[in-house]
Chain A
Amino acid sequence: MAVLNEEQEMLRDMARDWATNESPVAAFRKVRASGAPEAFDRDAYTAMGQMGWTGIIVPEAHGGSDFGWLSAGLVVEELGKTLTASPLVATTLAATAIVLGGSEEQKAKWLPKLASGEAIGTLAIDEGPHHNPAKVAASVSGGKLSGTKAFVHEAHGADLFVVAATDGLYLVEKGDGVSLSTRKLTDQRSHAEVTFDGAAADKLAGGGDSLVEDVLDRARILTACEMLGMAQAVFDTTLEYLKQRVQFNQVLATFQALQHRMADLFGDLAMMRSAVEGGLQALDSGFGVPRAATIAKAEANRVLHAISREGVQLHGGIGMTDEYDIGFYLKRARVVEASWGSSAYLRDRFARIGGY
């Protein structure tokens, strides 16, 4: 765990308490049971807005707290532990796109609403099942954007889409020219194919040539924070289970074959935490972000993948049941692993950044 200052410790404890008491996995079960395509609890999201979590990376002048990425990451990690379904990550990423590339007018129009939780935003970048920002066909002509975006996260609740077109990022509001077709994935969260048919689009003209990748690096790091929370929760739950379950008249935790597998996962989890926190620190210092983001998401992919598999295996048959939470983590894990860069994509990117 990173060495935190007092304010950050308070924020983390608050997020931990709230997630544990107000948003345990049972809360996600309710969201799932409701069958609503937007797949989150509006009241819970309003509460997050009131606690200031939706505006952590937004400048104070625009209604946020400008509390930094490490702080944002702490909250997202805690919510990841209980699989809290919310558009917090999506909205934070839409807001960072505007912070980095928006005009004063665009900032004034959107940031206060995103920061308060009143409006929900999301990124619409990829056009196929694999993350590949180099392969974008959506285009803008006369201020109207046309194209189709695949598997847009939190699309159903979104008031604002930050859309990648051939010449950069655009803001598109929900409404005329924007239509959604639901894509139910294993995680039972909100995803949709979003078709833009001559939708009014407002370009994010600032931020320079690297704007798209700068935003995506933030997506990689913040998603890795959610994954860290998930991995930690699976590890803790599994360890707890091994200490309780008795077979052959012995608690499973006494078997060395299982002890060593947990020790291996513990080492992996330590590396994942360091990589993810390294990403957040790079964002806060502004130094070496592309490389740190690649390391953070690649380690998050590798370790969450391993832990979510082992979590089910070490639970045995009970881990295969819907009644146990462990399977929920597995089904969410693969979705976030594939988002904003698979392991293979990230290794290729790491080599490119390193000049080989």
Chain B
Amino acid sequence: MATQPDLQPPNENDAFREEVREFLAANFPSELRGKGSALAGVDGPTEESEAQRKWREAMGSRGWGTPTWPKEYGGGGLSRRQAAILNEEMAKAGAYNPIGGMGVMMFGPTLLEYGSEAQKKEHIPPICRGEIRWCQGYSEPNAGSDLANLQTTAEDKGDHYLVNGQKTWTSGGQWADKCFCLVRTDKSDKHKGISFLLIDMDSPGVEVRPIQMISGMSPFCETFFTDVKVPKENLVGEEGQGWTIGKRLLQHERTNLSGGGSLARMMGASLADIAKKYVETDETGAIADKVLRDRIADFEIRWNAFLLTARRATEESKAQGGVSEISSVLKKLGTKLGQERAELTIEIMGLQGLGWEGEGFTEAELAGVRAWLFGKATTIYGGSTEIQNNIIAKRVLGMLDHQ
């Protein structure tokens, strides 16, 4: 993790930093200051204030919401160093990246790698402008951890595919414009019978039903396809290449789900600060309950080691190029630690940390409860912890399949 030499002359980056500052001063609405993280990158409802719309359009027109993507498809075309400068300056200004969601995090990078020129030209620019919401059609009722068992079929009808079947856990399905979908084009081969297909959510025959979760929220949906006609040009890659493309996309998903940085920001106050508010402290200001204090320190040490690991993975992937198998390790560690933190937070707060709704609780307390419950999904979706363990054992450690 030694510092890499900066490849660009410093004056060039200085000029870019100045450009960013001027852009922010001219375009970032002051009323949105500091409100960023709650709005960015979420596949949530579509209502947008005038200020939010203006900010999204300003960033989108420059491609700076997807700063390192190629300029020819609407990305920013920036170097990693410039993207880092953009981030730094936005943080200073209290600004946020308004372009996010699955299109940015998973689908875009995958399409840039595997899509045809026409597909990239059609689909990437609207992602860069934040105009189109994508959802993920992967899991099915009988294809969870055993994803390749998926049964949704796409039948070749000459000029189009006819899609029938059911997907589930479709995050943000009720708000999405389009779906990147794994479908079966061949029943004779489990893995080679899978293809990667793009489906318009407003096509006739698509029905979406939100699922109410233990957190009380409905961020996931069931999606039904009944005789849905999908144009042939919406096939990404070759027929039968879907498993390869789909797995590649999952690597991007894992990298984002583990997301040390954003997770840390989301989590806000340190556990020690929360504890000082909810439990007794002694005359020196230390947490009086020595056992609890020890457990907080134990957690924080491991959490810091995880953040260092996320940073190290970024630096190593920069040196080697692209996302790597280490994404499984980060996903496994980050989600487990996130859950542990949520449990410890609730324990620190006692019953005050278990409010469901109504009087007697702050907004932060209520939000914390929902986040604790929702967080149980993190070790299940995107490939459960058990699946990550299989991937690590087989692909990274070279341990063999059961014979």
A binds B: yes
Interface string of B236-253 (1 = CB under 8 A from A): 000000000000000000
B275 at the A/B interface (Cβ < 8 Å)?
yes
Contact present for B399 and A275 (CB under 8 Å): no
Contact present for B1 and A281 (CB under 8 Å): yes
Contact present for A278 and B276 (CB under 8 Å): no
B389 at the A/B interface (Cβ < 8 Å)?
yes
B308 at the A/B interface (Cβ < 8 Å)?
yes
B286 at the A/B interface (Cβ < 8 Å)?
yes
B315 at the A/B interface (Cβ < 8 Å)?
yes
A3 to chain B minimum Cβ distance, whole angstroms, is: 5
A350-B300, A356-B286 in contact; A4/B2 too (CB < 8 A)? yes
Q: Which residues of A contact B333 (CB under 8 A)?
A: 267, 270-271
Contact present for B397 and A239 (CB under 8 Å): yes
- Which listed residue, B298, B319, B401, B403, touches A347 by the CB 8 Å rule? B298
In the bound assembly, the distance between CA atoms of A256 and B388 in angstroms comes to 12
Contact present for A351 and B399 (CB under 8 Å): no
Q: Which residues of B contact A351 (CB under 8 A)?
A: 272, 286-287, 293-294, 296-297
B304 at the A/B interface (Cβ < 8 Å)?
yes
- Which listed residue, A3, A272, A352, A356, touches B305 by the CB 8 Å rule? A272
A243-B399, A270-B333, A356-B287 in contact; A278/B294 too (CB < 8 A)? no
Contact present for B297 and A274 (CB under 8 Å): no
Contact present for B308 and A278 (CB under 8 Å): yes
Contact present for B301 and A2 (CB under 8 Å): no
A155 to chain B minimum Cβ distance, whole angstroms, is: 31
A318 to chain B minimum Cβ distance, whole angstroms, is: 19
Contact present for B302 and A271 (CB under 8 Å): yes
A242 to chain B minimum Cβ distance, whole angstroms, is: 7
**Nearest-neighbor residue (CB-CB) of A299 within chain B:** B305
Q: Which residues of B contact A127 (CB under 8 A)?
A: none
A33 at the A/B interface (Cβ < 8 Å)?
no
In the bound assembly, the distance between CA atoms of A110 and B397 in angstroms comes to 46
Contact present for A3 and B2 (CB under 8 Å): yes
Contact present for B272 and A355 (CB under 8 Å): yes
Interface centre among A239, A264, A271, A352 (most CB of B within 10 A): A271
A96 at the A/B interface (Cβ < 8 Å)?
no
A267-B332, A354-B272, A356-B285 in contact; A1/B398 too (CB < 8 A)? no
- Which listed residue, B2, B285, B394, touches A2 by the CB 8 Å rule? B2
A304 to chain B minimum Cβ distance, whole angstroms, is: 13
Contact present for A299 and B326 (CB under 8 Å): no
A253 at the A/B interface (Cβ < 8 Å)?
yes
Contact present for A274 and B2 (CB under 8 Å): no
A278 to chain B minimum Cβ distance, whole angstroms, is: 5
Contact present for B286 and A3 (CB under 8 Å): no
Contact present for A266 and B392 (CB under 8 Å): yes
Contact present for B305 and A274 (CB under 8 Å): yes
A277 at the A/B interface (Cβ < 8 Å)?
yes
Interface string of A274-318 (1 = CB under 8 A from B): 110110010000000000001100110010000000000000000
Q: Which residues of B contact A295 (CB under 8 A)?
A: 301, 304-305, 308
For window 207-266 of chain A, which residues contact chain B by CB distance below 8 Å? Answer: 239, 242-243, 250-251, 253-256, 258-260, 262-264, 266
Q: Which residues of B contact A352 (CB under 8 A)?
A: 286
In the bound assembly, the distance between CA atoms of A346 and B302 in angstroms comes to 12
In the bound assembly, the distance between CA atoms of A329 and B1 in angstroms comes to 27
**Nearest-neighbor residue (CB-CB) of B1 within chain A:** A2
B374 at the A/B interface (Cβ < 8 Å)?
no
A8 at the A/B interface (Cβ < 8 Å)?
yes
Interface centre among B1, B306, B399 (most CB of A within 10 A): B399
Contact present for B389 and A275 (CB under 8 Å): no
Contact present for B389 and A8 (CB under 8 Å): no
Q: Which residues of A contact B401 (CB under 8 A)?
A: 254
Q: Which residues of A contact B293 (CB under 8 A)?
A: 351, 356
B4 at the A/B interface (Cβ < 8 Å)?
yes
Q: Which residues of A contact B270 (CB under 8 A)?
A: 354
B329 at the A/B interface (Cβ < 8 Å)?
yes
In the bound assembly, the distance between CA atoms of A275 and B312 in angstroms comes to 10
Contact present for B308 and A243 (CB under 8 Å): no
A254-B399, A347-B298, A351-B286 in contact; A264/B304 too (CB < 8 A)? no
Q: Which residues of B contact A271 (CB under 8 A)?
A: 302, 305-306, 308-309, 333
A22 at the A/B interface (Cβ < 8 Å)?
no
Q: Which residues of A contact B392 (CB under 8 A)?
A: 262-263, 266-267
Q: Which residues of A contact B352 (CB under 8 A)?
A: none
**Nearest-neighbor residue (CB-CB) of A251 within chain B:** B400
A9 to chain B minimum Cβ distance, whole angstroms, is: 10
B396 at the A/B interface (Cβ < 8 Å)?
yes
B243 to chain A minimum Cβ distance, whole angstroms, is: 22
In the bound assembly, the distance between CA atoms of A256 and B281 in angstroms comes to 46
Q: Which residues of A contact B309 (CB under 8 A)?
A: 270-271, 273-274
Q: Which residues of A contact B265 (CB under 8 A)?
A: none
A344 at the A/B interface (Cβ < 8 Å)?
yes
Q: Which residues of B contact A298 (CB under 8 A)?
A: 301
In the bound assembly, the distance between CA atoms of A275 and B302 in angstroms comes to 9
B25 at the A/B interface (Cβ < 8 Å)?
no
Q: Can you list 19 pairs linking A and B with CB atoms under 8 Å apart?
A: A3-B2, A3-B315, A259-B399, A266-B396, A267-B332, A267-B392, A271-B306, A273-B312, A274-B311, A277-B308, A277-B312, A295-B301, A298-B301, A302-B302, A350-B300, A354-B270, A354-B272, A356-B272, A356-B275
Given contacts A254-B401, A254-B403, A271-B306, could you give 9 more A-B pairs where the C-beta distance is less than 8 Å?
A1-B316, A3-B1, A239-B397, A239-B399, A256-B390, A262-B399, A274-B308, A356-B275, A356-B293
10 shortest A-B CB distances, which residue pairs?
Answer: A259-B393, A274-B308, A263-B389, A356-B272, A347-B297, A263-B392, A271-B305, A274-B309, A253-B399, A2-B1
